[in-house]
Amino acid sequence: MKNEMKIWLILSSFGIMFAILSWIQESKIIYKEIFAGPNKGIIALITGLLLYQLFAKKIN
């Protein structure tokens, strides 16, 4: 049960960060070239893991 919850929290953190990065990309706050190709997914993975470490790991 605990490992299953951890996986869902990590996937949720990734999804949250991907949505935030998509919003930043559409609002033109940062140059679109930064998010070209797989870059947005990689950035979302890294920042999602940071988000998990900061918040979700405490509740797991």
Q: Give per-residue pLDDT as tens, 8-57.
A: 999 999 999 999 999 988 888 887 788 888 999 999 999 999 999 998 76
Residue 29 neighbours by CB distance under 10 Å = 8
The whole-number pLDDT of residue 55 equals 85
- What residue numbers bound the domain in which 30 lies? 2-59
The whole-number pLDDT of residue 56 equals 73
pTM of the full structure: 0.84
The domain tally of the chain equals 1
The whole-number pLDDT of residue 19 equals 95
Contacts 24+ apart (CB under 8 A), 51-55: 51/13, 51/16, 51/17, 52/9, 52/10, 52/13
Residue 60 has pLDDT above 70, yes or no: no
